[in-house]
Chains A and B, each alone.
Chain A
Amino acid sequence: MQTAEKPEVELARALLAGDKSAFEPFVEVFGGKVFQYTYLMCGQREDAEEVAQDTLLKIFESFDQLKDPESVKPWVFRIAKNYCLMKRRKSVFAPQRELSLDELLPLRNGEGDRPLEIADLSALPDDEVMRLELNSHLEKALTELPDMYRSVVLLRDVEGMSTAEAAAVLDVSEDVVKQRLHRGRLALRKSLDAYVRSGVAGRG
């Protein structure tokens, strides 16, 4: 069965073939994606805009070096990550505070098979107001994650890259990506859970 090609892969393929009508949409798609990543990694709008512009310039200057349109996303994010590093002058991806699994464990009510003390996230109202509220809390939770976990969560869960692609962007092994992703996810889950259980969510 043939699956539909991802829009960004289609755009990259068209640009490599010299189809200039793909230029504007490509800039739109990747400008937005790169800005979101760098804004959440750098934490400042001015820095993120500069990094997004530098990244776009580098991408188009070296477009002839993109060998395989299928790998356009990791290729772009690798360039963005490098500009992010230069912007921060110190490594934003250097190991900082490690999250241990123990601190991310859920709590239970008493013994045995009693329910855990966690919110039922799936029972939250599925409306626009709740979506915006959760989105806004998630942004805060993401920026509070130590950098090395945040970068992996952004590439894997927000951008939907594979483990191998995220490993190639970040220059780490796939095992490291898996380990950081798991801890990052658990920390976000814990933060969302605390937010929902505090009763702030949905109060308007």
Chain B
Amino acid sequence: MESHVDDRSCRELFALLSEYIDGELPSATCEEMDQHIRSCAPCIQFVENLKTSIRLTHEFECREKLAGLPPQLKRTLERVYEESLRRKAG
């Protein structure tokens, strides 16, 4: 079993994939990558796989939730908020 990314251009591309997906690369680098990916089936497959994984992470929600805050804490939060507004105004 060997790694897919033994091809030099695939390997260089692999290191920049997140920036490529996030649109954070300089346009020249992005165009070069587009050109390579269009003609490389394993790269297309991997980019799609990574994009789906990122989407699932974005949709992630922890099963544990914060229980309701104690009423006394809520009253304290409201009080200190109002004090901070008075400081701002004053």
Contacts and interface: CB of A to CB of B under 8 A. Distances in A.
B58 A119 contact: no
B75 to A, nearest CB: 11
Chain A interface secondary structure, helix, strand, loop or mixed? helix
B84 A62 contact: yes
B45 A31 contact: no
Chain B interface secondary structure, helix, strand, loop or mixed? helix
Contact of A116 (B46, B61, B87): B46
Given A64-B88, A101-B14, A106 B3 contact: yes
Contact of A158 (B17, B40, B48, B58): B58
A102 to B, nearest CB: 8
B81 A142 contact: no
B46 A63 contact: no
A193 interface: yes
Contacts, number: 150
A105 B19 CA distance: 17
B58 A157 contact: yes
A49 B84 contact: no
Given A116-B45, A136-B63, A185 B80 contact: no
Contacts of A99: none
Contacts of B65: 32, 35
B28 interface: no
Interface of B: 1-5, 14-15, 17-19, 22, 24, 40-42, 45-46, 48-50, 52-54, 56-67, 69, 73-74, 76-78, 80-81, 83-85, 87-88
